[in-house]
Structure 1
Amino acid sequence: MKATAIRNIKSLVPLLDRVLVQRIKAEAKTASGIYLPESSVKELNEARVLAVGPGALDKDGKRVPMGVQAGDRVLIPQYGGTSIKVGEEEYHIFRDSEILAKINE
């Protein structure tokens, strides 16, 4: 069986109550302009929502609305979800219920 390589993340559409996110990279430079070594920069639990599924179905067959939408900034769990690598970029898929919070700007 041949593995399918995803060439463009825009071609990936989440199903049901799943949310496609990309972690926001931490700043490698302090406010005063000092560059930090890569080993001291922690991975943030903050991500940008790229795409959402249509929502899960409840027991009556009605769609449950999603809690987030494309473009939202959210807090995600440190572990879990499914990682997807496209080129050098890494993306994650979580269930809507796994998203911890939405960040209002």
Structure 2
Amino acid sequence: MSKLLVKADKGHGHVAHVTPQSAGWTYVGFDLHRLRPGETAAGKTGEREVCLVFVTGKGKAAAGGKDLGLLGERMSPFEGKPWSVYVPQGSDWAVT
């Protein structure tokens, strides 16, 4: 069993990165992006699928060339369920 404890970097932008290898897991990794209003995080899925999870806040999302509009509604992780977007293999994604 993994005893992974990761603390996000302070500030904004790409603040945490965990791979299956670094966590001792088989499949799942994650990245944490902390964005200021107007900032964008973007990437390509490559051979893996991706789930974008809005932990807090709202953002405009696009995946696979499709504009998904404004998503998210909770302003704290304790205010209900998070919003998420599934992005299949071979796709690009962006959140602003």
Same fold (TM over 0.5): no
TM-score range, shorter chain: under 0.3
More helix by share: 1
Structure possessing the higher radius of gyration over alpha carbons: 1
TM (norm. structure 2) is 0.26
TM (norm. structure 1) is 0.25
More strand by share: 2
